[in-house]
Chain A
Amino acid sequence: MKKILFLMLLGFALLSCGDSASAQLYEKRQDVPIRTALDQAMLRRWQAVNLPVSKEASDGVLLRRATLALTGSLPTWQEVRSYCRDESPDKYEKLVDRLLADSRFTDYWTMKWADALRIKSEFPINLWPNAVYGYHRFIRQAVAENRPLDQFARQLLNATGSNFRTPEANFFRATADRSPEGIARAAMLTLLGSRPEHWSKAEQQRFASCFRDVAFKKTMEWKEEIVYLANPEQDRRQAFADYLFAPPQNRFAIAMAHRLWFWMFGQALDCEADNLPAEAFENPTPAARLLAKELASNGYDLRKFCRMLALSAPFRVSPLPAAGTSGDEARAAFAAFPMRRLDAEVLDDAIADLTGVPSKYASVIPEPFSILPPEKHTVTLEDGSIGNSFLTIFGRPSRDAGRLDERPNDVTAKQRLWLFNSAELYRKLQKLQRRKELQKAWAEQRIELMYLMTLSRKPNAKETALSLDEFQSRKGNYKWQFWTELAWHLVNSREFLYQH
C-alpha cells in the first residue's frame, strides 16, 4: 500500500517537473557559458560533487537578480519589457554597466558598509546623530567616486581628529568596546574578515598594541569627540595596515574578495566572510586566490570587481537545481543560484516603489529630531537607530557588532504572518491600483503588468487564465477587490520574496 502511494507521488512529481513550459520562465535551454578562469574554478567545484553544468537563468530572472544584487531594487515593468525584447548579444553586459552607474548602486553598497562599520546613534555604539551623518556621508562619497578599497581602508585606519570634521575618525568610535583589544577586534572583523579567536595569544596582543595609543577627548560641543594618538611620534596603527597588505598573501585582498562575494551572492564562497580562519589566508581555495588576485590587480576597484562577479557563470546560473540533483547541494556549490530572502530595507523599498506609498520610520532618540523626506528610500537610512517594526520583523541588522550574520535573511512565521495579514500592507496594495498604467489596462493586460511589476516577468498562459477566471467569476465590489488581492498574492509569493 505504502509502495503504491509512493509510486503515485513519484508520478506526480515527475509530471510537475516535466512541465517544461513553466521551467522556461526561470531558465534557458542552454548551459551557462564557461568563459573565464573563475568560471573554470567553479565548474571544477560542480564536477567534484558530480553536478552537471547548470542551465543559464532566463532573461527575466537575470535582469531581476542583477538589479537586486547591484542596486537593491526591482527593475520597473518598462525595463523588464525592453530588456526581454532587446536582441543584442551584449545586452546583459550593457545592463550590468548601467546598474553600476546607477545612484542606487551607491546607495545600496553604502548601506552594506554602514552595516559593517556599525553606523548608529544609540547603544551600544553611541555615535550620536551628528557623527552618524558625517560618517555616512564619508562612506557614501567613497562609494560614489569608486574610491579604491585599499585607499578607503587606509583612510579609516589612519584617521585622527574631530568626529564631526574628520568623519572617518569615527572608525575608532564606532565600536562598543573602545579598548585597544576592542578596536583591534573591530578592525580585524571589518578589514581582515577575521576574529581574534583564530589567532594566537601573542598575535592578538600584537594586534591590540597597534591601537594602544588611540585616545579620545571631549570638546565643549555636544557629543563632539577628538580621536588622537597618545604618542603622536609613532603611529602604531601603521603596523596593522602593513600586516593587511603584506605580501605574499595580501590578506586585505583575500578578505575583501570573500566579503564582496558574500554581498553579491548572499552565500559565502568558502567560509563565513568575516570569520575567516588563518587557513583561508595561508592556503586559499583556487576561486578565492583568483578573486583576490583580480581585486588587487584591478586597483581595488569595487565596480570592476562587482562587474566581474555579475558576468561570471555562478552568477548567471539557473535558480532551479538541475533535474535529479539535490537543491541544497547544488546551491551550496553555486551550481544553482543561492536563494536569499530580500533584505528588509530592499523589501520595504520594493513595496514603496510598487505602490507609491512611502514608509514611515521612528526613532526614540529624543534629540535632535530628524525630519526625513517622504521619498527617501529605506536603503538610504543613515542611522541604524532609526527604523520601524517592519524592519525589525524582517531582520534589519542591529549594527551592534558589525558582523555579517547580524542580517538574518531567513523566513520566519512572524514575517509570513505580517505579509499575509498586515493592514498596512493591504492599504498600500490598494493604492497600487491607482497607478495610471493599471487604471487604463484591460483585465488581461492588467494581470500582465502586475506580474511584470512584481515578479519581473510575464505570466504564463496558465497563470493568466487562473487570474482571469477568478476575476470574471466575481461580482460587484468583490470583483474589483480581486486586483488588490492579486497584488497581495504576488507580493506573498516566494518568487517575489526571494532574490533567486
Chain B
Amino acid sequence: MKTSLFILLSLLSAAVLHAAEMKTSTAPAKSVIEIWVWGGPSQLETFDPKPNAGKEYNNGLKAIPTNVPGIEISEMLPELAKHADKYSIIRSMTHPHRGHETATYLMQTGREPGGGRVYPAIGAVVAMFKSKEYQGELPPYIVLTVPKGRFSEAGFLGDAYAPLVTGGNPAASTFAVDGIVPPGGQTRDAIKRRMEFYKKLDTFGRELGSERVTREFDEAGKQAESVILGDAAAVFDLSLESDEMRNRYGRNSFGQACLVARRLVEYGVPYVTINAQGWDSHKRHFETMKQKTAEMDRAVAALLDDLAKRELLNSTLIWWSGEFGRTPKIDRHAPWNGGRNHFSDCFSSMVAGGGFLGGKVVGESDATGEKVKSRPVAPQDLLGSIYERCGIDPDGPLPNPVNLQVPVLPPESKAGRLRELYPAGDIQK
C-alpha cells in the first residue's frame, strides 16, 4: 500500500508540473499572505462605510478620503487610507452561508459544503503547486499563530500540505515557535553535541537494516536537523528587526505577526496565513472595533508600505477577508445591545500586490449595505483570481492522492473572476 502511495505521489508531482505551465504575461506571485479576519469583520467599520445611512446603521461613524481620489473608507482606518493606491477593495462579496463553519469552508475552498468530502483550503493548494519551485527548509504553508480549527485545511490532500501552525506570541520577548526555535536558548554547539550523542544511543536502529520505516524516519530526521542547524529559525527572530520597525507594525500579537509574515515571504515561504482573532462582535461591537481596527489598520498599512519599499509587493499577494461580514443594521435588542450579527449577503474583502492593480473598487453595495448593487463576487471568483495571479489554473485539474477527477475550483460565477484588477494585456481566458 505504501509503495502505491509513493507512485501516486510521483504521478501527482508530474501533474503539478504540468498544471503549473499556465502562462501569464506578468510573472506570477511567488508568495501569498492571507489575512484571515476570523469571525467576520464588519464591512461598515472597515472598507465599506455608510456615512449617509443613518445612526441605525453607522452609529455616527464617518468615512474618510484616501490617497486615491473618489475612494473613501471608514474613519477607523486612517493609516490604510494613506495607502489605498496599493490595494483594491471588493465591496460585493456574497454567498449564502451564515454559520462560521460552513462559510469558512466555502470561503477557503471555493466549494459548497456537503457531498462527504473535505476539499483542501487555498493555502494547502497553493503550497502544493508551489512546493516544486520552493527550496526552503521551512514548510511551504505557515499559519500565524493559531489554526482556524473549523475543518482540516489540507482536506483530502493529506498531511503533507497541512500548515505548520506556529503557536507562541510574536509580541513576546522571544517568539517561541514550538519545534523551530530551540528551547532554553540552546547554542548550536550544544545542539550538535546532543545530536551526536543521540546517534550513539540508537541501539534499536543499529539492529534494523535498511527498510522503508527506517529510511522514512532517517529522512524526516535529516530534514528536521537541517531546519535546526540551518538559518530557518532566524526567520522567526524578531530581535533582528529594529525597534523602530517593530513599533511601526504595532507591538501587539497581530502587528508582530504581520512583521513575521514579511520575514517569511522574504525567506520564500509560498503561503502564510495570519489568523486575526476577536472579530465575531455580536456584543460590544463598537468597543471591540475600536481596538481591533486600530491594530489592523496600523499593521496592514505597515505591511503594505514595507513590502512596497522592499520591492516585494509585486511578487507577494495579500488578501484580506473574513468568512462573511456583519449585519449593517445595528441590533440594539438584548442580549446584543448594540451588536452586529453574521451577514453574508454583501460584505467586503481586500486584495493587494501579486500583480493585482491597486486603487480600485470592485462592485458596490446598496445605500445601507444590505444588498449587492452591482458586480457580485462569489467566493470561487475571489479564490480563482488569487490562483490565477499565482500562476495556477483554477480550471485545471487538482492533483490529489484520492484519485478524484476535479478541477482546482468549480466554475466561476456569471460576473466572473476579478479580471478588472489584472494588468492590461494579462491573461484573458
Contact = CB atoms under 8 A, between A and B. Distances in A.
Contact of B216 (A26, A385, A411): A411
A410 interface: yes
Contacts of B228: 417, 420-421
B203 A463 contact: yes
B101 A422 contact: no
Interface stretch (B41-49, B160-168, B375-383): B160-168
A414 B197 contact: no
Contacts of B102: 123
The 7 closest A-B pairs by CB, nearest first: A327-B211, A423-B183, A413-B223, A177-B116, A364-B149, A495-B204, A416-B224
Given A182-B115, A186-B116, 4 more contacts: A123-B151, A411-B220, A466-B197, A466-B201
Contacts of A216: none
Interface in A316-354: 320-321, 326-328, 331, 339
A185 B179 contact: no
A400 B220 CA distance: 27
B118 A398 contact: yes
B148 interface: yes
Nearest to A490: B201
Contacts of B184: 423, 426
B425 interface: no
Select the residue from A268, A326, A389, A490 with max chain B CB neighbours within 10 A: A389
A389 B194 contact: no
Contact of A175 (B105, B116, B210, B213): B116
A97 interface: no
Contacts of B167: 389
B207 A418 contact: no
18 contacts: A16-B206, A25-B203, A123-B150, A176-B113, A320-B208, A362-B149, A364-B150, A385-B149, A389-B178, A410-B159, A414-B164, A418-B179, A421-B183, A422-B179, A423-B184, A485-B194, A494-B214, A495-B204
Interface residues on A, range: 35 or more
Contact of A272 (B1, B181, B209): B1
B118 A410 contact: no
A334 to B, nearest CB: 14
Contacts of B152: 398, 400
Interface string B125-161: 0000000000000010000000111111001001110
A460 B183 CA distance: 30
Interface string A462-500: 110011001000000000000001001110111101101
Contact of B217 (A366, A389, A411): A411
Interface string A403-425: 00000101111111110111111
A493 B181 contact: no
Contact of B220 (A185, A385, A413): A413
B201 A22 contact: no
Given A412-B159, A417-B224, A328 B212 contact: yes
A402 B293 CA distance: 41
Contacts of B221: 413, 416
A131 B113 CA distance: 21
Nearest to B219: A413
B404 to A, nearest CB: 12
Contact of B211 (A326, A414, A416): A326
B179 A122 contact: no
A489 B191 CA distance: 12
Interface in A23-51: 23, 25-26
A19 interface: yes
B162 A392 contact: yes
A327 B1 CA distance: 15
Select the residue from B101, B178, B206 with max chain A CB neighbours within 10 A: B178
Given A22-B207, A495-B204, A124 B197 contact: no
A332 to B, nearest CB: 9
